[in-house]
Amino acid sequence: MTSLNTMRMRQFVASENPPLACSGFCRACREIHLLKQGNAREYCLELMQTLEEKGRIDFDQPTGHVDQRFSTAFLFAESRGQMFGTLECLAPSGRTVILKAFSGQYNGVWEVAGWVPPLLDVAEFQRLVDKTDPQIKALGKRLESLPPGLEKEHLSHQRKKLSQDLMKALHALYQVHNLRGEVKPLLELFSTGIPTGAGDCCAPKLLNFAARNQLRPVSLAEFYWGRENRSGTRQHGCFYSACESKCKPILGFMLCGLGEKDET
């Protein structure tokens, strides 16, 4: 594992001006909104230090309540690493608030104490998955044993439709908030098909929580922690801006209103 000092030097050499953390075009106001890394970069380095020292992500819980699902060893195994992020905010009182998030689920878990929640109702998500996923898997097993023909074609079409309907139902659970106090379903924010994992990255999670709790974002940063991803585009301890396909289409809406709050 790369030491934290080595990572700090790597980031110092790579950094010139405060890098852009995220941006997006807002179709409502026809403007591009953005947020830089700023102080959030240092908060991320502090988070890296904690992850390295504690070896788990549930460090807000007492030591006696350690859950092995939240060990960071998970990130260096076959499943590989994932993104983490911090958001520096100002509360209405002027107090600085630091939020943290992990992308998607952590080892199959959506919610971990001390981390911002997802954009969806976790209980309803699980209900939909538990209802439909067994049917999809059962059809998959039947398809494996069938020879080519009309029956196999029919079942394949049926399985595909079940999967598509499930994804539509799951996407409908995502409610996206912005800094104007507006809310839109995820389905309205993509002009074409919704990429897998849209709304589950760190930036949307952090900004959504801030908007819902009257917090004004000041800076944001995201980094990758764990074994590099299969495509080799994510390296342990490195910072990355919000992704183009899943995040950028919704970030313009989510950041809308940030400038207005700066002026008040």
Q: Does the pLDDT at position 49 exceed 60?
A: yes
Region 179-191: mean pLDDT is 91
What pTM was computed for the model? 0.88
Band of the pLDDT at 190, cuts 50, 70, 90? confident
Q: What is the pLDDT of residues 212-236, one digit of tens each?
A: 999 999 999 999 999 999 998 999 9
User: CA torsion sign, 105 to 108 to 111 to 112?
Assistant: negative
Region 38-50: mean pLDDT is 96
Provide the pLDDT for residue 67: 86
Domain boundaries, the chain: 4-119+176-263, 121-173
Band of the pLDDT at 251, cuts 50, 70, 90? very high
Give rounded-to-5 percent helix, strand, coil for the chain: 40, 20, 40
Token output for 46:
């502090």
